[in-house]
Chain A
Amino acid sequence: MEVNFWIFLLLSVLKVAVVTVILLTAVAYTVLLERKVVGRIQNRWGPTRVGPFGLLQPLADGIKLFLKEDLMPTGVYKPLYIAAPVIALSCALLSISMIPFGANIKYHGVDLFQISDINIGLLVILGITSVGVYGVALSGWSSNNKYSLLGALRASAQVISYELALGLSVIGVILVSQSFRLREIVDLQARHGIVSWNVFGGFQFVAFFIYLTAAFAETNRTPFDLPEAESELTAGYHTEYSSMKFAMFFMAEYANMITVGCVATLLFLGGWTSPFGHLFPADLGGVVGEALLPVFWFVAKVFCFLFLYIWVRGTLPRFRYDQLMGFGWKFLMPLAIANILATSLWLAFHAA
């Protein structure tokens, strides 16, 4: 169908603005959720003072970070010192543009719940993630501080190592769904609800485990948060950063968490499809319900991921560096390759 260019442009700009605002709000409230949940795990309350139940805490944090003095340390290499947080945040925000949030509902020929639906969506997300490492690497180097540099070296080594396991675990899903397009990957899982999700029906639970573990390492989260291990490295690669530049790294980390959760939801947990399949009529609540119910499922699944992230952070201690590398290269990598072999043999057996 021929789409009017101006309508397309207007709707696209609108989509980008709405998604960015929602993502940044989600980032702010993930931080609050984390402080609350970790607080409860450690038998304390977490933030309670600002607003009811501490719900306005993200706003207060944001104002504080904006108004703080932006220090420029004397020894830094300025161009890269300034560029590094920008690279980190823009890569984190870019990858959300490939994520479909809800069913394929068109308005004047424009997809409402996805910014761009492209053939190689999954590869583009992987590519953007791999470029995002530069934000961390350059920040550590340009800060001219040994803690920063050590943190950055740890971070880039860790991200490169676990990216392999992550990419290989995704191949199992691609073999099953035979497409890189995220919408097609989800559509294939939509047939019978929870049993046809890739993690169960596609027998990709091993891949799911590998993806989950590698995703923790990719986003520098506990138990793999060695790049910012505060007991040894002060704050790791962002030691020298203050005010908004620090906030940009912080937002990038949480935005990456959300993106990784979204991708895991799409690849393994059926994306926006209902876990009950077609048990309930799809037209529950008319046109609006039909559009918003999938978004509800999607958000619920991503929320479970974020909760899991926080839960793990409150539970597991940090790995040692050699354990981290050994686990990535000697356990996850061979396991991922074995998963690819098993999946392709299984598919070939079925096709024959």
Chain B
Amino acid sequence: MHLVLFIIFGGLCVAGALNLLFQRHPINAALSLIVVMSSLAVLYLLLGAEFLAAAQVIVYSGAIMVLFTFVIMLLNAGSEERTHGSKAAYAIGIPGAAALFAALAYIFLSNSKSLSTAKLGDYIVTTSDLSRVLFRDLLLPFEVTSVLILVAILGAVALARREH
């Protein structure tokens, strides 16, 4: 059951990601990104992270992607235009991506003993378990991250208001 769901939504995720790259129109690309994010939420749920799944849908598929589509609608962006692109990207692009992928795969596989493996199963991480880790064991990184996000917001506001 878990495996079947994993294959369906994993496939949907990959298909959405590919569609995102191949679509010419920005709004279609944005919509395929929503599909990717929502199927990621299902994958989180399959791993037992229920709060993370709900937060993924609310924050990413809900709020952030609505803002994306909002901007696309406001700018009324047309279809993308074909350019010849940079020569460097053609030359290095695919080998570079392959090298990065290979390096990451090598690192993860060689350290697979020290990293615990993820299992699809019936167990569930409840919200209270998660918050215990987040607000007790990892309190400092959590708070520092929130300050970091605050700084980013202030930076965005400062950039947007520079004209005045």
Q: Which residues of B contact A157 (CB under 8 A)?
A: 70
Q: Which of A19-27, A129-137, A317-325 contacts B (4 or more CB under 8 A)?
A: A129-137
Q: Which residues of A contact B61 (CB under 8 A)?
A: 127, 130-131
Distance, CA A80 to CA B54, complexed state (A):
25
Distance, CA A6 to CA B51, complexed state (A):
30
Q: Which residues of A contact B73 (CB under 8 A)?
A: 137, 140-141, 149, 152-153
Distance, CA A180 to CA B54, complexed state (A):
11
Interface membership of B126, Cβ < 8 A: yes
Smallest CB separation, B21 vs chain A (Å)? 19
Interface membership of A120, Cβ < 8 A: yes
Q: Which residues of A contact B69 (CB under 8 A)?
A: 134, 137-138, 141, 156
Interface centre among B55, B58, B61 (most CB of A within 10 A): B58
Q: Which residues of A contact B74 (CB under 8 A)?
A: 153
Q: Which residues of B contact A141 (CB under 8 A)?
A: 27, 69, 73
Distance, CA A163 to CA B38, complexed state (A):
19
Distance, CA A127 to CA B66, complexed state (A):
13
Contact A127 B70 (CB under 8 A): no
Contact B27 A163 (CB under 8 A): no
Overall SS of chain A's interface? helix
6 shortest interchain CB distances as A-B pairs: A130-B62, A123-B54, A127-B57, A141-B73, A127-B58, A120-B50
Distance, CA A120 to CA B55, complexed state (A):
11
Docked complex: A118-171 residues within 8 A CB-CB of B = 118-120, 123-124, 126-127, 130-131, 133-134, 137-138, 140-141, 149, 152-153, 156-157, 159-160, 163, 167
Q: Which residues of A contact B127 (CB under 8 A)?
A: 119-120, 180
Contact A123 B70 (CB under 8 A): no
Interface membership of B63, Cβ < 8 A: yes
Q: Which residues of B contact A124 (CB under 8 A)?
A: 54
- Further pairs besides A119-B127, A120-B54, A126-B58: 15, Cβ < 8 Å: A80-B27, A80-B31, A120-B127, A126-B54, A130-B62, A131-B57, A131-B62, A133-B66, A137-B73, A138-B31, A138-B69, A153-B70, A153-B73, A160-B66, A163-B63
Docked complex: B79-132 residues within 8 A CB-CB of A = 124, 126-128
14 A-B residue pairs with Cβ-Cβ distance under 8 Å, sorted by A, are A80-B27, A123-B51, A130-B61, A130-B63, A131-B57, A131-B61, A133-B62, A134-B66, A134-B69, A138-B31, A141-B27, A141-B69, A153-B73, A178-B128
Smallest CB separation, B60 vs chain A (Å)? 10
Distance, CA A159 to CA B51, complexed state (A):
22
Interface membership of B47, Cβ < 8 A: no
Query: Which A-chain residue is minimally distant from B67 (CB atoms)?
Result: A160
Interface membership of B34, Cβ < 8 A: yes
Q: Which residues of B contact A130 (CB under 8 A)?
A: 57-58, 61-63, 66
The interface of chain B, by Cβ under 8 A from chain A, is 27, 31, 34, 38, 50-51, 54-55, 57-58, 61-63, 66-67, 69-70, 73-74, 124, 126-128
Q: Which residues of B contact A138 (CB under 8 A)?
A: 27, 31, 69
Interface centre among A118, A133, A157, A167 (most CB of B within 10 A): A133
Smallest CB separation, A132 vs chain B (Å)? 9
Interface centre among B61, B62, B63 (most CB of A within 10 A): B62
Query: Which A-chain residue is minimally distant from B41 (CB atoms)?
Result: A127
Distance, CA A134 to CA B72, complexed state (A):
13
Contact B27 A119 (CB under 8 A): no
Distance, CA A126 to CA B55, complexed state (A):
10
Smallest CB separation, B19 vs chain A (Å)? 13
Contact B67 A134 (CB under 8 A): no
Q: Which residues of B contact A149 (CB under 8 A)?
A: 73
Smallest CB separation, B160 vs chain A (Å)? 16
Query: Which B-chain residue is minimally distant from A180 (CB atoms)?
Result: B127
Query: Which A-chain residue is minimally distant from B58 (CB atoms)?
Result: A127
Q: Which residues of A contact B27 (CB under 8 A)?
A: 80, 138, 141
Smallest CB separation, B51 vs chain A (Å)? 7
Q: Which residues of B contact A120 (CB under 8 A)?
A: 50-51, 54, 127
Q: Which residues of A contact B128 (CB under 8 A)?
A: 178
Distance, CA A119 to CA B54, complexed state (A):
11
Interface centre among A118, A127, A137 (most CB of B within 10 A): A127
Smallest CB separation, B115 vs chain A (Å)? 27
